[in-house]
Amino acid sequence: MMKFLKKEGEAMIQFQNEYIMVFQSALFQTTCTVVDAKDFVLVVDPNWLPHEIEEIKQYVAQIQGEKELYLLFTHGDFDHVIGYKAFPGAKVIASKGLKEHPNKAEKVGLIQQFYNENYIKIPYPIVFPEVDIVIEKDVQQLKIGGTAITFYLSPGHTHDGLFTLIEPEGIWIAGDYLSDFELPFIYDSAKAYEETLRKAEEILEKHNVSVLVPGHGHATTSKEEIKRRIHLAEDYLERLITAVKNEDSEAMDALEKEMAFPSNFTKNCHKDNVRIIRREYITE
């Protein structure tokens, strides 16, 4: 299958194989995966900057032909849904949690704020996604032609996360889990996060994974590397939970310092992590 091959390292291209092109934004190493399957094209979390989304659109226009276009949102965080209206007419896939998101207006407000803070003219209407295909449970499947897309709910980071497995191509779209460098950010539940990591181990056993793409950071084709990432997150959470249970502020500070790209952003993420662990492991 010969297509409009771009070179890795070129502008936004982070990874490609016969079936997928992974675009990486200049911001937060956020990925957007475009899957060119036999019977459809799937775009995942198109983001962030207008010219970046434009590049993704142009690529999709080159490969789409007569194929139907699907848009998948891995979860409802504003950086992942920012490009929704850039693909009008696409069939939208997301979890029930995203469809019924309790803070849609807040997410839309964050997108507006992002554009204004950076003097970016708003390129598309800012709207929280309307969902056409709703994922409600683990192992829910969508079959399109010869391709099977299997979904698993992945709460913890947010309540509305999804793991997506595309077979036979062997693609695992992980959303904001299993990054090569970003440690767990818990906005939803530490207990759910741990459960989701256990689910990740099972998925790796059950499915034929040839490439995993995280929401932030690098795709990997190595099973060993995927295992390393699962254990990295498990180990970090375990040590953080222990530190919080023991009210060990020295250990908590050290864990904050393990985060890559230390900033006010990671400081706040760490505070949220601690607050949620306290709520779940101490108050209850």
Would you count residue 182 as binding Zn ion (CB under 5 A)? no
Please identify, among the stretches 34-42, 56-64, 111-119, 172-180, the one whose residues bind Zn ion according to the rule CB under 5 A. 172-180
What are the CA-CA distances from residue 183 to residues 25, 73, 172 (Å)?
Answer: 19, 21, 19
Helix ranges (DSSP H) in 65-148 = 78-81, 96-99, 104-117
Nearer to Zn ion, 20 or 32 (CB): 32
C-alpha atoms less than 13 angstroms from C-alpha of 271 in its C-beta half-sphere: 6
Chain residues 66-95 in contact with Zn ion, contact rule CB under 5 A? 77, 79
User: 141: part of which helix (H) or strand (E)?
Assistant: strand 140-144
Please identify, among the stretches 60-68, 147-155, 215-223, 253-261, the one whose residues bind Zn ion according to the rule CB under 5 A. 215-223
Could you tell me the smallest distance in angstroms from the CB atom of residue 235 to Zn ion? Answer: 21
Would you count residue 256 as binding Zn ion (CB under 5 A)? no
Would you count residue 188 as binding Zn ion (CB under 5 A)? no
Nearer to Zn ion, 82 or 230 (CB): 82
Cα dihedral: 253, 160, 12, 52 (round 10): -110
Q: Which residue is nearest to Zn ion (CB)?
A: 176
Would you count residue 176 as binding Zn ion (CB under 5 A)? yes
Please identify, among the stretches 36-44, 176-184, 189-197, 240-248, the one whose residues bind Zn ion according to the rule CB under 5 A. 176-184
Q: How many other C-beta atoms can be found within 10 angstroms of the C-beta atom of residue 229?
A: 24
Q: How many other C-beta atoms can be found within 10 angstroms of the C-beta atom of residue 205?
A: 7
Q: Which residues bind Zn ion (CB under 5 A)?
A: 77, 79, 176, 215
